[in-house]
Amino acid sequence: MFDAFRGRQQKEPVSSLAREQQIWGWIFLSPWIIGFLAFTVIPLVASVVFSFLDFQLNKPDEITFAGWKNYRLLFTDPLVRDSLVVTFKFAAISLPIGMILPIALASLMNNKYLAGKRFFRTLFYMPFIVPVVSAVFIWRGMLSTQTGWINRILGLVGIPGPDWLNSQVWIYPALVIIGIWGIGNAFLITLAGMQGVPTAYYEAAKVDGANPFRRFWSITLPLISPVIFFNLILSVIGLMRYFEVPFIFNGGNGNPGGATMFFNIHFYKTTFVFFDMGYGSALAWLLFVITMILTLILFGTAKYWVYYAGAKNE
């Protein structure tokens, strides 16, 4: 079948070849084009339409135009406000820890005195591979006041452990701990970033009398800032779509006392339990706008603190 292709190529050497190549290019690209239209563009448009409808999935014959009703509901639904508060409260606790710990762990793994680096790196990464369902059940046990080891260890050093899972306050640290268990990815990327810093910089700084802290602050951090930025963006997006851990914990009932009623659990129930596609779309758009604003703010600040060596622009 390629004989025809070759024959034409010889007759009209340049322009025809380029055209031919372009057609092949589109053919190879087509899975993404189709997928992008089918699973991103069309749903995006449909979601706008849905958000202006009264649309119950289990009553497909009763779809009516709702105007701004679904959006007005966002402001009167107390669960929207409460679940956003829960989401942001958790994000405020989780984000700093989720940003600092991977850097701290990567620094330790990058320490020249550490023996068995590969061994440590693999094992610190490993919990990231554990399915979230298993991780949640393991930690539910670890943090239990009955059989759990965390409170037992705290008890050994004389600290009375809290009732992590049934306290509206301590449930957040509990969720953060589960999150910390999965920092493997962020840690590994940060470590790779640190290993990419030219050692000549450190030697030059040493000659100038910079102490280790100063070298870390003025060389390591700026040079790995693109990696930190990447982790930051992914963390913020991840926190805005936080769902699985609290849902597996309690099936989305929000216990203790609504403390785990995250925005996405409200969204999940509206959409997939009550099948309210119209209001579900409005909720999704609210989240979309919040996430986009946060991402844009972060991208806006990037030029002040993210350092790109050379002309890397992607």
Partner 1 sequence: MSSKALKPPAHINTSPMYSFQLRRMGLTALVTLFASTILVAFLMPFAYMTLTSLKNRDQIVNSTRGTVLPVDTVTFDYEGETLDILNVPFEDGMRQLAILQRQRRSSTFIDPTNPSADPVVWEGSWRTLDPVRELSPRWDNYRTAWQEIGFPRLLFNTAFIAFVGLIGTLLSCISVAYAFARFPLPLKNVMFMVLIATIILPRQVMLVPTFAFFSYIGWTNTWLPLIVPHFFANAYNVFLLRQYFLQLPRELDEAAMIDGAGPFKILTSVIVPQSWPVIISVALFHLVFAWNDYFEPLIYTLGNPKLQPLAVGIQQFNFLYGAEPHLIQATALLGLIIPVLLFFFAQGVFMKGVVVTGVDK
Contacts with partner 1 in 85-114 (CB under 8 A)? 105, 108-109, 111, 113-114
The verdict on 116 binding partner 1 (CB under 8 A) reads: yes
Q: What is the rounded distance in angstroms from the CA atom of residue 140 to the CA atom of residue 249? A: 8
What one-letter code names the amino acid at 177? Answer: I
**What CA–CA distance (Å, rounded) separates 264 from 252?**
10
**Does residue 248 bind partner 1 (CB under 8 A)?**
yes
Name the maximum alpha-carbon separation found in the chain.
Answer: 87
Please report, as a single letter, which amino acid is at residue 99.
M
- Asked if 147 interacts with partner 1 (CB under 8 A), we say yes
Shortest Å, Cβ 66 to partner 1: 15
161 lies in the binding site for partner 1 (CB under 8 A): no
10 Å Cβ neighbour count for 98? 23
Of these, 85, 92, 100, 126, which contacts partner 1 (CB under 8 A)? 126
Using the contact rule CB under 8 A, the part of the chain among 89-97, 166-174, 198-206, 260-268 near partner 1 is 260-268
Question: Which residues, numbered 177-206, are part of the site for partner 1 (CB under 8 A)?
Answer: 181, 185, 188-189, 192-193, 196
Among 46, 100, 159, 169, binds partner 1 (CB under 8 A): 46
The answer to whether the peptide bond before residue 256 is cis (omega within 30 degrees of 0) is: yes
The mark string for 204-243 relative to partner 1 (x by CB under 8 A, - otherwise) is -----------------------x--xx-x---x--xx-x
User: What is the SS3 assignment for 53?
Assistant: strand
Burial class (CB in 10 A: 0-12, 13-18, 19+), 249: buried
The answer to whether residue 300 forms part of the interface with partner 1 (CB under 8 A) is no
